Structure 1
Amino acid sequence: MKTNYIFVTGGVVSSLGKGITTASLAAVLESRGLNVTIMKLDPYINVDSGTISPIQHGEVFVTKDGAETDLDLGHYERFIHTKMTRLNNLTTGCVYSEVLRKERSGYYLGATIQVIPHITNEIKERIISCGSKHDIILVEIGGTVGDIESLPFLEAIRQMSSDIGRSRTLYLHLTLVPYISVAGEVKTKPTQRSVKELLSIGIQPDILICRSDHVIPKNECAKISLFCNLTENAVFTLKDVDSIYKIPFLLKKQKLDDYICNRFNIISNEADLSEWERVIYEDSSSKGKVNIGIIGKYVKLPDAYKSIIEALKHGGLKNRLKINIELIDSQNIESRGVDLLSGLNGILVPGGFGERGIKGKILTVKYARENNIPYLGICLGMQLALIEFAINVAHIKDANSTEFKQNCEYPIIALITEWCDEKGNLEVRSKNSDLGGTMRVGSQSCNLIKDSLAFNIYGKETIIERHRHRYEVNNLLIDRIEKAGIKISGRSVDNKLIEIIEIPNHPWFIACQFHPEFTSTPIEGHPLFTGFINAANRCNN
């Protein structure tokens, strides 16, 4: 099988929606029966996204094999059925570290290591490896054309047209056509300049997708095709829409998938977007609205909770409800009180790291528990639910996490090496380690207790979910909390780690150590989010 390559670049400005556009195009091609995957090339020098602040970069998306990747891979998984792996995200840091490792081991036989050919060859090998089992791979290059950081990636994809043949490579450029309100018209010059920048490094785009908040007239599209050396039928437009789920339909309506299949000489079925038609129907036929609060510490950048926000919307789709999401800074709850939570039909405390804002999150958990507000805790949200319950219900005043208080008397949450040695004995140990790559990440199996709300929600005894955390519930100190009323409804398959807890005498109170948001899609949703939104709606009524 010969793989075909679509390279997606962006120009003029960032945040044009390259990730969503790439994922939407992949969804249309997949609906034709093609085996499609997507790869993201990130120009930053970090080896992966794991240690980048969410305030700077947005969330870290975790793949099934435990890679900490760019949030765009979350878009990819929500739009296509192919699951991403560590092969689907490549950073400049990863490329250079691998080339340097090879150089130290003598792999290059004493050659002087240079960007060309050594760095570009490594990039090309990674792209080919990622796409080897697929009909089409879409490769999104992060940043914009002209960024100095992206030049090695752009040079590598330029070389690929010679290496594997022009007939199997296609360059798609996403660009901005701004509307100038004073002039009352769209302007094509930024697009022309962006394409000129691409041409200067040897890449002639085969397809242009022009983003705008206004309709781009046909005469302007003709001008773009003329000045950018493209046929008119290779210029596509993408106007702003009220739902990202409509983008696959816009691309199909303009027959972009037909153009690509003809270009690659691929014979396939017509695109079948019936699954997405159902999503659009669910989105447009809501029966009500619920207010959900996300109480976190990175709320200034909503992308820090991108997968959670999308998963809540998916839960709304499955319940035919609109979701009004309020991002609330937990530090504001510390200073202004829990009155900020009034009016919420459901409360979600997400994952996070560090002590900042923890008191506000614990006050939030207490408010949800005492006022019978549906609660979903994720990762840190589960750990804090246990700490709150231990303090206020089990009356263990010094219950805490060693992440926040190293020498607390009752470390209900701790590094597993702090509470358990190889023989299962309690033993406090040093926690000094590198931050990168020291967490429990990726897909893990979990066994559910049959007489639990969690089992009723999932409808099966064993589930597989993705993790990203360092600290675990201390098994040796959990008995008093269980006796006070917490129900442990899920454990790891080896029975050593607590994965899900719930409060039986509460309308809907579930917290999990894993991250269910990473496997939620608009087509299928996720049972925990669907159940949470359903419970929030009952609370609303």
Structure 2
Amino acid sequence: MKYIFVTGGVVSSLGKGLAAASLGTLLEHRGLKVILQKFDPYLNIDPGTMNPFEHGEVYVLDDGAETDLDLGHYERFTSTNLSRLNNLTSGRVYESVLAKERRGAYLGHTVQVIPHVTNEIKDRIRQVAREMRPDVIITEIGGTVGDIEGLPFLEAIRQFGQEVGRDNALFIHVTLVPYIKAAGELKTKPTQQSIAKLREIGIFPGVIICRAERPVEQDVRDKIALFCNVAPENVIECADVKHTIYEVPLKLHEEKLDDLACNLLKIEAPQPDLSRWRKFVQHIISPSRHVRVAVVGKYIELQDAYKSIYEAIIHAGAAHDARVEVVRIDAEEIEKAGAAAHLTGLQGILVPGGFGDRGTEGKIKACQYARENKIPYFGICLGMQIAVIEFARNVVGWTDANSTEFNKNTAHPVISLLEEQKHVTQKGGSMRLGTWVTDLVPGTKAFDLYHSATITERHRHRYEFNSEFKEELEGAGLVISGSSPDGLLAEMVELNDHPFFVACQFHPEFLSKPNHPHPIFYGFVKAAMNQQVV
């Protein structure tokens, strides 16, 4: 078994996750079974309680783990389904170590960072190797080399690399090579300092990936190689791509990253067949059609807050050979100026998930605009709850209808807290999480999209359709097209007299992949393309 560790230097947000995912893509296309994992130095147990403005989206796995958004890249770029084993934080490490100390597992020894914390980190690598049995494990270390909180992880992978041997462990360092305009040249000193930090603790990168605004010419690569003790051919470039992140594997293949990894780890594997990936990328870069859709949310300013949704839209657009232009609209702006001011001329409206009442009335107005003007509507999680509230208010006539999340005193709580959530006091990891089964009703739009009577999707929510109002809402025309197997929970709703009005309680964006777009996103984009612009 081979191990690849990806670290980052100089600054954060360099794209370590994309580099790791892209390498995973290339190795998988060479016939290898690849598993990726992310080690995050922050002290949160997981990102489930973190503000999307600070951390981006929380990516949910089949087993209910709330993880870093980079695991979304890992799953989209490869064929693997990951689990809670594949994301580890400092908080989780220390929680485990302290629990063992309380149980007396250390037999009275003084508990220290070395060896107890580092052993805990190494044990996670071994557990993934033992339970998932890949050919290659790629581990991304979050943060930046030099951060104090990341030191235990770096020490752990140093030890691990020494234990498995040089031929079985490869360290790849992603670093910034900044262009200084006044000097008119790329500067290598930050990279030299970053590598020096790694070498101080005994980590010697075998490959250096240079992130730069300008092409990294050979003389710059030679200089980095000389000062960082690597072969010149092992210094490669990863410039910003022009159109889509899905170009990154192709660019890194041109730079021979997968060849380098295979050679350094003594892996014999054929060259990858990237023809389908190239075709997918080509549909993104040069589509024959164009469509404009709105995403109406409360975290719109931050691209990463709805990362998986944007990627799922791209996947569906490529499948239709169409560029989907996403118009990001702050729900609070709709509250101020009205829906028509922001949504006129758009061919589809998507309302994503979220928590809290900020922007809720704007989302309701957006949903009403889509319903009344026959514009394709797609609601996800809170977006489904919004659809139910809007229908109850403006079709049934319950003007005070609401969710108890936003108004505990409403006389028509069409959305309410799940029964099992009513006594929850700990916020982290306590929602309805992970994969659940949904039964679809034949003859509905949902059934037609999936071509199946039973589906499994990933969930992350506390509030739910209130079945007390089911009979009256259905009588007014709301179609419950998907339910839990016991029939107690409504999982999908839709409208019949509408070109496309579909909403789901789960998060379908987490199961979309480049050449396998999610059925609902596929149907939504198709409906938007058929929508006449008014």
Interval containing the TM-score (normalised by the shorter chain): over 0.9
Correspondence for 2:371: 369
Instruction: Report the more deviating stretch, 259-268 or 152-161.
Output: 259-268
Alpha-carbon distance between aligned partners in 1 of 2:285 and 2:277, rounded to the nearest angstrom: 12
Q: Secondary structure at the match of 1:239?
A: coil
Correspondence for 1:164: 164
Alpha-carbon distance between aligned partners in 2 of 1:96 and 1:405, rounded to the nearest angstrom: 39
Mark the CA change 1:521 to 1:473 in structure 2 (over 3 Å): closer, same or farther: same
Correspondence for 1:202: 202
Asked if the contact 1:293/1:327 (under 8 Å) is kept, the reply is yes
Deviation, structure 1 residue 432:
5.2
Instruction: Report the more deviating stretch, 504-513 or 284-293.
Output: 284-293
Alpha-carbon distance between aligned partners in 1 of 2:104 and 2:172, rounded to the nearest angstrom: 38
Deviation, structure 1 residue 430:
4.9
Paired AA for residue 523 in structure 2? G
- TM-score when scaled to structure 2? 0.97
Instruction: Report the more deviating stretch, 81-90 or 334-343.
Output: 334-343
Correspondence for 1:438: 430
Instruction: Report the more deviating stretch, 170-179 or 395-404.
Output: 395-404
Deviation, structure 1 residue 336:
1.7
After superposition, where does 1:110-121 map in structure 2 within 5 Å? 110-121=108-119
Deviations 1:378-422 (A, max 9, x none): 00000110011011101123321111112322221112218xxxx
Deviation, structure 1 residue 281:
2.4
Deviation, structure 1 residue 92:
0.4
Correspondence for 1:122: 120
After superposition, where does 1:124-523 map in structure 2 within 5 Å? 124-132=122-130, 133-242=133-242, 243-338=244-339, 339-417=341-419, 430-431=422-423, 433-523=425-515
Q: Note the aligned Cα RMSD (angstroms).
A: 1.3
Alpha-carbon distance between aligned partners in 2 of 1:499 and 1:299, rounded to the nearest angstrom: 25
Alpha-carbon distance between aligned partners in 1 of 2:424 and 2:431, rounded to the nearest angstrom: 13
Q: Secondary structure at the match of 1:456?
A: helix
Alpha-carbon distance between aligned partners in 2 of 1:342 and 1:182, rounded to the nearest angstrom: 46
Correspondence for 2:59: 61
Alpha-carbon distance between aligned partners in 2 of 1:494 and 1:81, rounded to the nearest angstrom: 31
Q: Does 1:97 align with 2:98?
A: no
Deviations 1:107-136 (A, max 9, x none): 111111111111000000001212331110
Which runs of no fewer than 5 residues in structure 1 stay unpaired?
Answer: 419-428
Paired AA for residue 251 in structure 1? L
Deviation, structure 1 residue 162:
2.1
Deviation, structure 1 residue 302:
1.4
The size of the alignment, in residue pairs, is 529
Deviations 1:343-399 (A, max 9, x none): 211101000011111111111111111011100000000011001101110112332
Alpha-carbon distance between aligned partners in 2 of 1:254 and 1:77, rounded to the nearest angstrom: 23
Asked if the contact 1:21/1:247 (under 8 Å) is kept, the reply is yes
Correspondence for 1:426: none
Q: Secondary structure at the match of 2:531?
A: helix
Q: Secondary structure at the match of 1:90?
A: strand
Asked if the contact 1:22/1:138 (under 8 Å) is kept, the reply is yes
Asked if the contact 1:415/1:431 (under 8 Å) is kept, the reply is no
Which runs of no fewer than 5 residues in structure 2 stay unpaired?
Answer: none
Asked if the contact 1:382/1:511 (under 8 Å) is kept, the reply is yes
Asked if the contact 2:296/2:330 (under 8 Å) is kept, the reply is yes
Asked if the contact 1:290/1:540 (under 8 Å) is kept, the reply is no
Deviations 1:274-300 (A, max 9, x none): 221121222233122211111111112
Alpha-carbon distance between aligned partners in 1 of 2:281 and 2:493, rounded to the nearest angstrom: 34
Q: Equivalent pairs: percent with the same residue?
A: 53
Alpha-carbon distance between aligned partners in 2 of 1:49 and 1:225, rounded to the nearest angstrom: 37
Alpha-carbon distance between aligned partners in 1 of 2:416 and 2:104, rounded to the nearest angstrom: 42
Alpha-carbon distance between aligned partners in 1 of 2:126 and 2:276, rounded to the nearest angstrom: 30
Alpha-carbon distance between aligned partners in 1 of 2:192 and 2:394, rounded to the nearest angstrom: 64
- TM-score when scaled to structure 1? 0.96
Instruction: Report the more deviating stretch, 28-37 or 476-485.
Output: 476-485
Q: Secondary structure at the match of 1:37?
A: strand
Deviation, structure 1 residue 146:
0.4
Asked if the contact 1:214/1:240 (under 8 Å) is kept, the reply is no
Deviation, structure 1 residue 72:
0.3
Instruction: Report the more deviating stretch, 326-335 or 64-73.
Output: 326-335
Deviations 1:212-247 (A, max 9, x none): 121111111111100100111211111111121121
Paired AA for residue 324 in structure 1? E
Asked if the contact 1:295/1:329 (under 8 Å) is kept, the reply is yes
Alpha-carbon distance between aligned partners in 2 of 1:496 and 1:209, rounded to the nearest angstrom: 52
